[in-house]
Amino acid sequence: MHIKSGIRKRAIITTILACSSWGLGGVLSQHLMQTYNMMPLQLTMYRMLTAGISIFLFLAYKKKLPIAKLKADKRSLLQMAIFGICGIVFNQFSYLMTIHYSNSGMATILQFIGPIFLLVYYCLVGRRWPIRREIVALLFTIIGVFLLVTHGQLGHFILSKEAFFWGLMSALGLALLNVLPLKVIDHYGSLPVTGIGMLFGGIFLIFFNFEHLVPPELSLHFLAWFTLTIIVGTIVPYIFYLSSVTFIGPLAASLIGSVEPLTATILSVILLGESFALIDYLGMAFILLTVFLTAHE
């Protein structure tokens, strides 16, 4: 059954907005780690707890928190916990670790190796070969990443091993983020699943972060950047993205999400003074082409 074109277009626009917000969130996170010496684990914990509590309180205020329903549905509650820890936390922590070893632009680009994992997964589960459009989109993604990571030279690797490792982990996290919550979102919606998942993830991280429970400082400058990171870089993109996945599918959403590294790269140049070579922008162009390939029916 084909998705109505109007719904699909809205879902694509929502996905682009979500991933653009994620790109900005990466730049904001890099600033917080560089300026205030926040560790990736500490920042991940704060993002999960603050965003999770905010969504939880909003749902409670709107009387849309499915507490009674979840009490009788322990399986869905467990799925939300797994999604929060293995999906959101794993993706965010590995992403911030990549930023720690490189920068926000490169981290978001490496994250978009994730569609390759998704394509392999869906082809294996569905026992099918990828269609031509999927193959071309993935080839463009691979070419784009190759140009950005090596500048077109096989023997020249411009990233540290740590950055590349955590970049691959964030790509795997992106794939898990697209697959894990689908069934439970169908029953409860993206907002409750996102909020409760973040709460589980944030509480889980407390046990590994006792030494950094207190914020580095509470200045107005820090609070302003941190608030922007939570709202624009965490709450908004997760809700928008997960609500769109239901309509256009995880693989399409992850490929359209290639706008995230472009946003992060442009903003890191403007706001953080990062510099990129001409071949970097060529790589970004290949990645951007996947948006048009995926959006076309």
Output the DSSP codes for 178-246: HHTTHHHHHHH-HHHHHHHHHHHHHHHHHTT-GGG-S-S---HHHHHHHHHHHIIIIIHHHHHHHHHHH
Q: Which helix (H) or strand (E) holds 32?
A: helix 5-36
pTM to 2 decimal places: 0.82
Residues in the chain: 297
Of 162, 254, 151, 201, give the one whose Cα is nearest residue 47: 201
Element (H, E) at 106: helix 104-111
Nearest to 44 by CA among 203, 245, 184: 203
- Burial class for 2, CB neighbours closer than 10 Å (0-12, 13-18, 19+): exposed
Residue 56: half-sphere exposure toward Cβ, Cα within 13 Å: 14
Spell out the domain ranges in the chain. Answer: 5-295
Q: How far is CA 21 from the centre of its chain?
A: 10
Q: pLDDT tens string for the chain (297 positions)?
A: 454 667 777 777 888 888 788 788 888 899 999 999 889 999 999 999 998 998 888 888 888 888 888 888 889 999 999 999 999 999 999 999 999 998 887 787 788 777 778 878 888 888 888 888 878 877 887 788 778 777 777 666 677 889 989 999 998 998 898 889 888 988 888 888 989 999 999 999 999 887 777 777 878 988 999 899 988 888 888 778 777 777 777 666 766 666 666 677 777 777 777 777 788 778 878 877 775 665 554
